[in-house]
Structure 1
């Protein structure tokens, strides 16, 4: 058993934080599971130094839970191992104060390790770290950022039981219109948005542009580009917690389902990614604008070739698959294009020095650690095998998917993921087994549920 933090955290970091924040009384210590759900404990102020000195014992089963927090025995993480304890250690640089909490609290992220200090390989953050290390061995460093789309909803449903957009927190005004890019519409939520930005600032997150998106009650918040992809994923999961907490404080519900409204666009989690060499040069950058480098083309080729078998990572839930529809701003085929929002892999317009790929398939309900790990593995696959991405899609990408092998539904995606050697390598064998077992268990849970749709369609007709 080790008492030296394998994560690289130090007691000095905790001591300095406590000295700078004498008002903080407690801390959320958070581990993210296969679904990206934060699980852990709330500890008191006097326990923080002990956590940094010796870690915290947690049951191995915490990483084998489904979306409802129920054990999934097929993961091999429950009784197969006696539900023994492993140790979670704080992640350096993730200890931050929380905005607007009473009494004041902080939070810190943690990762799971074996008792002798080896990374616990069903921890999603370790899966991403392994892909970052594999790229580093080839002299490459990934940089990136996620976009966060979400809905703000009323706490009460309408007379038909449907979710409805939240009233403005400023004056209670209500709108059922698609207020896309309306600046005046944003003003009604400014008190809430101000608290979100304050929470992000307190946590060291550079939250940037807020827009009103393409559905009633839908918004998008962008994040500053990070030279460390692990930090980019940390930013995304932390920002979701901030948005949810501040929305709740203002009396509305923040919704991160991929498709909460059948009549409007769903919420994506687009991942912008580029690569730097050891000299800090962006290797996706072309010599002359528009004459694409072989590096970015091979990266696109790898992402295209591996997309179908990876879709369970990008669309992990039953609701995720409702987001994919023609002309919905969600891609329906593994297409690529330039300055084109109808494709799955977009090269945004702009300065060639900032050249990057925007990976668009993921819903906001996906786990950003697993998304980033899978995307980086796809890029590695393309670079290693010098894969041609095929012709660029121009115009309407929704008319360019006739021969797509993208799974048509959740069950097909689960089966494709289970049999994928690529995804097993991308996530690691243990994380792959854990993730696919959890998804299979969740599929079984959904399919045995007798829903209101069943009664509506069949009660009086069959």
Structure 2
């Protein structure tokens, strides 16, 4: 889309929403956090025409918003600006704002007009291009789990459903219980309204495996970057709807020790240039093609080095434990939620796999980058997967991928697959940033150290 087309999009929006007072330009950083600012509507025309100056380090901040040492675009090289342009089609109202406000996604461009290599959207574009070069088009849908959280004056706790006739919390897990949805019906209705206004294609909402935990599914689209845009905007919408009802929403991978973690599941199919699903067909393992088998093989080989993207922070690894439906081995099979790569029940036109490893806290652009890299690696090298896990098979919890942060970063550094898809420069940058954050996190003395050791030792 040209700058003239972008400007026309802004003009159309303001003609339809002349009351708009403010704009919130947003960009995703490496942590999967939307960062931005609020500006007067008259200032945003630049983002739709010539681009606006934006600190290039915005996409490579740590979780707390600090710059990293010894990486580009930080204090050591003058913290330079890049240009930010509006993402076509992302301009939408912000219905929860006090005054009429709009939001728009941005992407970074270097001053010479080339793509900024550190923008997560551009990282994904690099990773998915090899599949497009083969004439293959990924179709994706993401599922996100989260908790609604309330504060009791001392602790954060899941917003549990109440026992009828009282304000007492209902104990225990009630998976897919409609009463739990009715308990938060106002929240869900507001979320649905926000998503409709902002063109976020949501599908089913359900109560998950723990009190206060929910899942929202997005509809599939044939543009991986757009699918991840939808996931980022959905997270923002969930948090906004929760605030309206004096709740917080968290996508932490493991916010509570005694309840289930929250995941990001990705459904993927692959179409050829004629729109045919190349995963459909017959093979020695079942009613799916050898192309799917080879994709599974590649995903299995890439999985150990991809964990650092699927589990990007310290809390991510608390989710990895037996009994949590969080696989720790690259197993695969039909209709089995215990495996990492599940083949859901589906007809030929909808033949797909579900990737079940990433946490809800992960950056969706990086999760999808790793998945598409694994698919291409497997297809182009005709990699055979391990033996398939039969339907309803009993699985013993086995650890074959890193489930601790330092080990995941070691596997990432030593990997030979992802650098070819993420770009070797960004691969190294990501590792440097994550290792610095891991060191900073572990430099803090947590309260648990005092509880366990102060008197005992």
Relative to the length of structure 2, the TM-score reads: 0.95
The question of whether the paired residues in 1 share the 8 Å contact of 2:70 and 2:76 is answered with no
Q: In the TM superposition, what is the alpha-carbon distance from 1:162 to its structure 2 partner?
A: 5.3
Q: Which residue is 1:457 aligned to? A: 452
Distance in 1 between residues matched to 2:358 and 2:439, nearest whole Å: 23
- Quick check: 1:64–1:75 contact (8 Å CA) kept in 2? no
**Which deviates further from its counterpart, 124-133 or 382-391?**
124-133
1:386 aligns with 2:386: no
**In structure 1, how many angstroms separate the alpha carbons of the residues matched to 2:199 and 2:421?**
29
Structure 2 Cα separation of the partners of residues 15 and 305 of structure 1: 48
> What's 1:195 paired with?
190
Structure 1 equivalent of residue 91 of structure 2: 95
Partners of 1:384 and 1:294 in 2: CA distance: 12
1: CA distance between counterparts of 2:127 and 2:2?
Answer: 18
Could you say what the CA RMSD is over the residues aligned between the two structures, in angstroms?
Answer: 2.1
Cα shift readout 1:133-178 (whole Å, capped 9, x = no counterpart):
22111101111010010000103455xx45342567x996633331
Q: Does 1:318 align with 2:314?
A: yes
CA shift at 1:96, angstroms?
Answer: 1.0
**1:436-462 deviation line (CA, Å, top 9, x unaligned):** 122111111221111111111111111
Superposition map of 1:37-52 within 5 A? 37-52=33-48
Matched, 1:301 2:297: yes
CA contact (8 A) 1:75 1:433 kept: no
Quote the Cα distance in structure 1 between the aligned partners of 2:38 and 2:422: 29
Question: How far apart, CA to CA, are the structure 2 residues paired with 1:127 and 1:8?
Answer: 26
Local SS of the residue matching 2:386: coil
Q: Which runs of 5+ in 1 are unaligned?
A: none
Shift of 1:236: 0.5
Aligned match of 2:180: 185
Aligned to 1:34, which of 30, 33, 50? 30
In structure 2, relative to structure 1, the CA distance for the partners of 1:49 and 1:166 (3 Å cut) is farther
Partner of residue 236, structure 2: 241
Counterpart check, 1:342 vs 2:338? yes
Cα displacement string for residues 95-146 of structure 1 (whole angstroms, at most 9, x for unaligned residues): 1112232212111101111001101101111011122322111101111010
Provide Cα deviations, 1:219-255, integer angstroms capped at 9, x if missing partner: 0111111111111101100000000011011100101
SS for the counterpart of 1:273 is strand
Tell me the TM-score normalised to structure 1 length. 0.94
Give 1:446's aligned residue: 441
**C-alpha distance in 2 between matches for 1:398 and 1:108:** 47
1:405 alignment counterpart? 400
CA distance in 1, matches of 2:218, 2:439: 36
CA deviation string 1:24-77 (max 9, x = no partner): 211110111100111122121112222211111111222231101111123222
Question: Which range moved further: 96-105 or 121-130?
Answer: 96-105
